[in-house]
Amino acid sequence: MDQDELLSNSFYKDVVSFLEVVEKTIDINPNLITRLKYPRRAIRVSIPVRMDDGSMQVFRGYRVQHNHVLGPFKGGIRYHPNVNLGEVSALASLMTYKNSLLNLPLGGAKGGVKVNPNSLSRVELEALSRRFATEIGPFIGPDKDIPAPDVGTNPETMAWIMDTFSLETGFSQTGVVTGKPVEIGGSRGRLSATGLGVVYIAEQALETQRKEISQSTFAIQGFGNVGSHVAIEAHAMGAKILAVSDIKGGIYNPRGINISELIRYLKEHRFVEGFPHTNTITNEELLELDVDVLCPCALESVIHEKNVNKVKAKIIVEGANGPVTPQALDYLLKNNVLVVPDILANGGGAVVSYFEWVQDISWLFWKEQEVREKLKKVMVDTFTRVWNFTKTYQKSKDKDNLRLSAMAIALLRLEKAMKLRGQI
Ligand code: GLU
């Protein structure tokens, strides 16, 4: 792997810098850190698609398999115009740390196609997804590498990938992807799992400041699968959602937005703008609102050196992967803002993906309530482990650096496993 090519991507560089901070702070095998700076394998593919007008377009696709010392590779597939090898590698590394931190028997991977899914018809999207599945087919499978949805993909995308893989191998293999529709082996509760997990974590973070979720205010950036479910679940627990946004912009009401009505409104209107009883705000303005909990649930690097001094929230829960850059994190820590890192905060999706995989392998399916209870237990236990590590291990100047603790716990588990396997 060409390290320079990866490091030319600032997000990849940021993820590597999280590793280096841990290396400087705790006693850990330096060979582990050196190894983890390189993904194990990166697959680049061309995806030819015959478009509806008869022309041919070729899209670029990637699957990066970062580390699988703990179990099969696992991680989502993203469809977005900015997808590139560096970004997918950064996201694959974060999956290794997320799955390790959550104590799952899974490694880390990520895939992506450089495409704007909204500009393709459904027929074109299906053709693209099926061809991508064929190209990465030799490298995925229920005990090799298990994709899932991410930005720009959904249960339908997973159904196409599962079907293509199954047709090519000759029999139905439900366990090759997670986040599928329930009718074909998906888990109940998977669709809302990432958002619900974010809310369970927000509840824990608020508790450390002696606040209750039912008395708190939220601003949520991004209204995709993560952000919309954060809004629904937090609203159901009595929190006031002051602002939400999507790619076109945001809406704000200082008395709180009626989320059930907003969901009904979105069935007719594609975007949140224009929702009655709200003012229009920009995505940037949303990040600057004075709320108890700010949830950036869209894309990476949205809170950075240049805008971090305008953030007023006292708690940030990273629903997206990598929304706070390392420079912004330093500033926030100095200003006593509690930042709950992605690998903990948005781990709910990975946890219920694991539950789905287990259900597929055992052909025994659970009720939604059972999934939600099991998810809550994992999220609360993991938050507690990270919180306790912060209190007992870190020096006082690093107080409440949950990113450092979460990374340290994840790396110490990987260190043990890699040592036992004779890899470091
Ligand atoms: N794409 C999600 C994430 O970033 C889910 C991954 C999975 O379920 O494998 O955590």
Indicate whether 20 pLDDT > 70.
yes
Instruction: Quick: pLDDT tens for 330-378.
Output: 999 999 999 999 999 999 999 999 999 999 999 999 999 999 999 999 9
Is ligand 1 within 6 A of the CB of residue 155?
no
Secondary structure of residue 224 in the 3-state scheme: coil
Distance 99 CA to ligand 1 centre (A): 10
Is ligand 1 within 6 A of the CB of residue 321?
yes
Looking at residue 3, its pLDDT comes to 80
The single-letter DSSP state of residue 90 is H
The proportion of the chain whose per-residue pLDDT surpasses 90, expressed as a percent, equals 96
Instruction: Quick: pLDDT tens for 157-191.
Output: 999 999 999 999 999 999 999 999 999 999 999 99
| From 110, 114, 240, 314, active-site residue | 110
Residues 6+ apart with CB under 8 A from 98: 108, 342, 343, 346, 347, 350, 410
d(CA 286, CA 284): 5
d(CA 24, CA 32): 13
Indicate whether 38 pLDDT > 80.
yes
d(CA 304, CA 322): 11
The answer to whether the CB of 195 falls within 8 A of the CB of 222 is no
Considering only residues 3 and 135, tell me which one the structure prediction assigns the higher pLDDT. 135
Indicate whether 398 pLDDT > 70.
no
Distance 56 CA to ligand 1 centre (A): 31
d(CA 208, CA 18): 24
Domain boundary assignment for the chain? 3-173, 192-345
- Of 78, 87, 176, 194, the residue with max ligand 1 atoms within 8 A of its CB, to mutate for a pocket test, comes to 194
Is ligand 1 within 6 A of the CB of residue 350?
yes
- The amino acid occupying position 280 is T
Query: What class does CATH assign to 192-345?
Result: alpha beta
Distance 308 CA to ligand 1 centre (A): 27
Taking the CA of residue 353 as reference, the ligand 1 atom at the shortest distance is 8
Distance 350 CA to ligand 1 centre (A): 5
Query: What class does CATH assign to 3-173?
Result: alpha beta
96: closest CA among 111, 106, 86, 83? 106
User: Chain-wide mean pLDDT for the chain?
Assistant: 97
d(CA 424, CA 420): 9
Whether 74 sits among the annotated catalytic residues: the reply is: no
Least confident of 66-70, 115-119, 397-401: 397-401
Distance 245 CA to ligand 1 centre (A): 22
Segment 13-39 mean pLDDT: 96
Helix (H) or strand (E) holding 296: strand 293-296
Strand ranges inside 216-282, DSSP E = 217-221, 240-246, 249-252, 279-281
Taking the CA of residue 106 as reference, the ligand 1 atom at the shortest distance is 9
Instruction: Quick: pLDDT tens for 219-236.
Output: 999 999 999 999 999 999
HSE toward the beta carbon, residue 100, CA cutoff 13 A: 29
Looking at residue 73, its pLDDT comes to 98
252: closest CA among 240, 242, 261, 260? 242
The answer to whether the CB of 249 falls within 8 A of the CB of 280 is yes
Looking at residue 395, its pLDDT comes to 64
Band of the pLDDT at 422, cuts 50, 70, 90? very high
Backbone torsion region of residue 142, taken as left when φ is above 0, otherwise alpha when ψ lies between -120 and 50, otherwise beta: alpha
Indicate whether 296 pLDDT > 70.
yes
Same fold flag, 3-173 and 192-345: yes
Helix (H) or strand (E) holding 285: helix 283-287
Is ligand 1 within 6 A of the CB of residue 245?
no
Rounded to two decimals, what is the model's pTM? 0.98
Pair type for strands 249-252 and 41-50? unpaired
Is ligand 1 within 6 A of the CB of residue 190?
no
343: closest CA among 42, 106, 140, 136? 106
Looking at residue 399, its pLDDT comes to 63
Indicate whether 81 pLDDT > 70.
yes
DSSP code string of 35-51? HHTS-SEEEEEEEEEE-
- Of 73, 80, 150, the residue with max ligand 1 atoms within 8 A of its CB, to mutate for a pocket test, comes to 150
Distance 52 CA to ligand 1 centre (A): 31
Taking the CA of residue 354 as reference, the ligand 1 atom at the shortest distance is 8
Is ligand 1 within 6 A of the CB of residue 178?
yes
Indicate whether 290 pLDDT > 60.
yes
Secondary structure of residue 168 in the 3-state scheme: helix
Looking at residue 1, its pLDDT comes to 73
Distance 137 CA to ligand 1 centre (A): 19
Is ligand 1 within 6 A of the CB of residue 76?
yes
Band of the pLDDT at 4, cuts 50, 70, 90? confident
Is ligand 1 within 6 A of the CB of residue 74?
yes
Distance in Å from the first CA to the final CA of the chain: 19
216: closest CA among 206, 226, 205, 201? 206
The answer to whether the CB of 220 falls within 8 A of the CB of 297 is yes
The answer to whether the CB of 74 falls within 8 A of the CB of 108 is yes
The proportion of the chain whose per-residue pLDDT surpasses 70, expressed as a percent, equals 99
